[in-house]
């Protein structure tokens, strides 16, 4: 089945394609189609709300199977009102570029003592048609990791926080890993299970 992934972020597209490898799904992205979509306001209070906002906006124009994802970032020992939440890039009314994100979150880690545990709460909304809408934000598609105050020299466009993320178990930088962390493996299996359930693969 061919499904439109509602994003133009190449890093996210490749990541999802790798996660769903060997399933009977062909993922295409906004880079592959010519869609005229009005500006989408991601004003939801949770990743699932934002995933639904985006998925329905794209389905309205595309009219064929589409899915969108969204994430929220939660940092240990940070009070609720200062959590990034769904505003991972949108800080103090502005939108940060990749390097600004790295600077902002390394400063948070520094204030926490140099390293701090964090968690991505992920969500997905899949629309096959007007009557078949599937949504999910379970803990099995979340990801736990460490944010460090010392950035890695390498960068991954589209995933800036990978440069300051470490595997909880080994303490290795994401940029140096040649394998998936345990948390990432669980997340991958969670996304695969979602599509298998929804599409009855």
Catalytic residue set: 70
The alpha carbon dihedral of 12, 13, 18, 20 has a sign of positive
Question: What is the C-alpha radius of gyration for the chain, rounded to an integer number of angstroms?
Answer: 17
Distances in whole angstroms, Cα of residue 122 to Cα of each of 17, 36, 86, 155, 189: 17, 27, 10, 22, 13
Antiparallel, parallel or unpaired: β 2-5 and 26-29? parallel
Angle at 131 between CA 61 and CA 38, to 5 degrees: 20
Any alpha helices (H) in 3-116, and if so which ranges?
10-19, 47-62, 98-111
């Amino acid at each position: 089945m061919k499904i439109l992934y509602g994003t133009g972020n190449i890093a996210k597209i490749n990541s999802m394609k790798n996660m769903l490898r060997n399933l009977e799904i062909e993922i295409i992205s906004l880079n592959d189609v010519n869609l005229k979509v009005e500006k989408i306001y991601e004003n939801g209070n949770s990743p699932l709300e934002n995933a639904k906002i985006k998925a329905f906006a794209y389905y309205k124009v595309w009219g064929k199977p589409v899915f969108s994802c969204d994430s929220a970032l939660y940092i240990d020992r940070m009070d609720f009102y200062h959590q990034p939440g769904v505003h991972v890039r949108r800080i103090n009314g502005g939108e940060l570029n990749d390097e600004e994100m790295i600077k902002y979150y390394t400063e948070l880690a520094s204030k926490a003592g140099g390293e701090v545990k964090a968690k991505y709460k992920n969500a997905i909304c899949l629309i096959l048609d007007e009557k078949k809408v599937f949504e999910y934000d379970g803990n099995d598609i979340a990801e736990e990791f460490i944010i460090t105050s010392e950035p890695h020299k390498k960068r991954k466009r589209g995933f800036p926080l990978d440069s300051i993320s470490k595997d909880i178990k080994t303490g290795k930088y994401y940029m140096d890993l040649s394998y998936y962390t345990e948390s990432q493996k669980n997340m991958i299996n969670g996304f695969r299970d979602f599509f298998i359930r929804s599409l009855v693969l």
